[in-house]
Structure 1
């Protein structure tokens, strides 16, 4: 019976990550193409809308993590958030004004801020700390497979029916994720373990704010800065590529953008599997350094040619960088907070940090494009990525030893020095 229940929970988590993939990441480059091709918005205005959505997500990330820490209704939170995203997607084709478009994207971003901490919490609550790394790698594998499938369908439907078809596709996937989360057994989730307490540990204790967790944990704070710089450099790259493709050929812009996404996501599938299998053996930092190294390289390579095939080929590198980061992000946060009961609020706080970087990224890139062109924007983002790489290499410690030394019963404080 237990084996059957474990199999059902695993399949439900697989399905949830698959269908929620496109919903978690938002419309992103598809929105940029839609606004550019259908409503003829300029790049700066598109960047502002994306920035406003990012700020909305930024404000709610840490409270979302705190709520996930303290609620036993994690499955319901995911279902409600998915329904809100569905509503915003279905409404978007019927609005065209700047304020209404910004409102729908802000609503979607606020709802989506629940997904990452809730999925990580449910995963940790089911698997426990020891199996968390491998299961997170599997989560990311299905997430990337879902993104690849959604991008293929988006490209096909946009080619046949226009860019607006992408919104309906996302709404369908959001509804499918609601069905998937309903099949996760609520009895399988240990809510104390899900918030980062040691299995069998004592009580929840006092819940600090996400800001307090960051300020009392130096490695976590440093990781937050690295994440913010990574997303400041990364978030605008694909939307910029999409805009270049749209300028060259509006009719093929969405299919080519889908090709970029599919290429990267297909690479991310084996990368996430590799990280899940080897991060407990090789350590976190070597893998993170590879992921951070890819980003400035991408930014420079995008400037070499405007050929669509070249741009799609360069996007393959995103599969390595983002694939490593996505699989390791919750694992590193778990390492730094295990035993404290603050896993999800810390996850939300770090999501706030890189959400700030992502929110500013599109605005920064849009301004640079207006002033100096696309190549200057790519090089600016590459320079930011290089700063993140150097900071991670010089100052950030290996986190595997923190959890390995004491297994699942680590008692040191999150502010302790990491060897």
Structure 2
């Protein structure tokens, strides 16, 4: 993304991968075919985040990034709500094939949408945060960018611990609650997605407005604090009623981070020409935490039960909170509003 002059292709290719993945599942439910489709989907998901950030920066520059990224995330979560609602309705009425075809349709629409953006409207220097041409051709790895920049390292570590707890909480909570209400299991799972995504829309817009006045430090702190509270509530309310506070808190945490993290990385690395490598590095560390979470959470739940697992998973974010407070002086400077940055 940093070196490419054809940034739209990084959304076009994930769109194609989504269509291919849908087609593969329609053609066969063989283990290896389904696995391959999930690999394609994972590659698409990994590429599209930095791509949207890079294109957004290239169009609106640093000054307009906070507002536009907030709007992007609000529409992203709105799309998830519509997708979940349509999937539930079409799946109930026409079966799994309709859901797969819907995913393919959305993949095609994403390709059409991005190709409507004129390539000339994307400033490639602004998209990577370049201050001058120095070092443009250097081969810099994401790991090197991460290790050389203390604020970026603090942010990545805090996010890794947060997602180490967050990644498994919803799937385990869904399993625990659905096992108690088997007759409503499908509706329960659908509600877990819709409630969280609706709250994320509101949190994204709120986060955008808070950041304009007060910066990102408090936004990130609130997102970290939401997880221990969520874990405690989940441990005490494994029921349909408990779904609402658990998923509202999920929406607050994820919605605020979806606005703050890309903007914060862009602020920290502005002028380096390595913004998108930094985005990828932070996403990788964050992803390691999220990937380990289900294994850890599942093992804890198996050993000592769901309730204890939710408390322990929630309290992984306490490490994030401690890191955030311990490095408050450094991070508050980086998290200051754009006008003060």
Q: TM-score, structure 2 length as denominator?
A: 0.92
Matches within 5 A, 1:23-62: none
Cα 1:90–1:289 shift into 2, 3 Å: same
1:351 partnered with 2:270: no
Tell me which moved more, 322-331 or 83-92. 83-92
**Structure 1 match to 2:133:** 202
Cα 1:157–1:253 shift into 2, 3 Å: farther
**Aligned residues of 2:59 and 2:123 also touching (Cα < 8 A):** yes
1:329 to 261, 275, 278: 261
* Secondary structure of 1:291's aligned partner: helix
**Aligned residues of 2:216 and 2:336 also touching (Cα < 8 A):** no
Q: How many angstroms apart in 2 are the aligned matches of 1:292 and 1:347?
A: 19
**Structure 2 match to 1:5:** none
1:203-260: CA deviations, max 9, x gaps?
5352411111011101111111011111111121221223234423456323322212
1:290 partnered with 2:217: no
Tell me which moved more, 319-328 or 267-276. 267-276
Q: TM-score, structure 1 length as denominator?
A: 0.75
Aligned residues: 337
**Structure 2 match to 1:270:** 202
Cα 1:103–1:375 shift into 2, 3 Å: farther
**Structure 1 match to 2:3:** 70
1:56-102: CA deviations, max 9, x gaps?
xxxxxxxxxxxx11111211221111111222233235555555443
Cα 1:192–1:210 shift into 2, 3 Å: same
Cα 1:384–1:400 shift into 2, 3 Å: closer
* Secondary structure of 1:334's aligned partner: helix
1:183 to 87, 98, 116: 116
Q: Which runs of 5+ in 1 are unaligned?
A: 1-67, 408-419
* Secondary structure of 1:69's aligned partner: coil
**Aligned residues of 2:11 and 2:47 also touching (Cα < 8 A):** yes
Shift of 1:181: 0.7
* Secondary structure of 1:241's aligned partner: helix
Q: How many angstroms apart in 1 are the aligned matches of 2:35 and 2:295?
A: 14
1:139 to 72, 75, 97: 72
Q: How many angstroms apart in 1 are the aligned matches of 2:237 and 2:98?
A: 30
**Aligned residues of 1:151 and 1:259 also touching (Cα < 8 A):** no
1:23-48: CA deviations, max 9, x gaps?
xxxxxxxxxxxxxxxxxxxxxxxxxx
Shift of 1:103: 3.1
1:305-326: CA deviations, max 9, x gaps?
2222321342111111111011
1:400 to 318, 327, 335: 335
* Secondary structure of 2:316's aligned partner: helix
1:102 to 35, 43, 56: 35
Matches within 5 A, 1:100-139: 100-139=33-72
Matches within 5 A, 1:138-177: 138-162=71-95, 165-177=98-110
1:300 partnered with 2:232: yes
Cα 1:402–1:156 shift into 2, 3 Å: closer
Q: Which runs of 5+ in 2 are unaligned?
A: none
**Aligned residues of 2:233 and 2:245 also touching (Cα < 8 A):** no
Cα 1:282–1:402 shift into 2, 3 Å: closer
Cα 1:92–1:369 shift into 2, 3 Å: farther
Which structure: greater helix fraction? 2
Q: How many angstroms apart in 2 are the aligned matches of 1:243 and 1:157?
A: 23
Q: How many angstroms apart in 2 are the aligned matches of 1:164 and 1:371?
A: 37
Q: In angstroms, what is the RMSD of aligned CA positions? A: 2.1
Shift of 1:290: 0.8
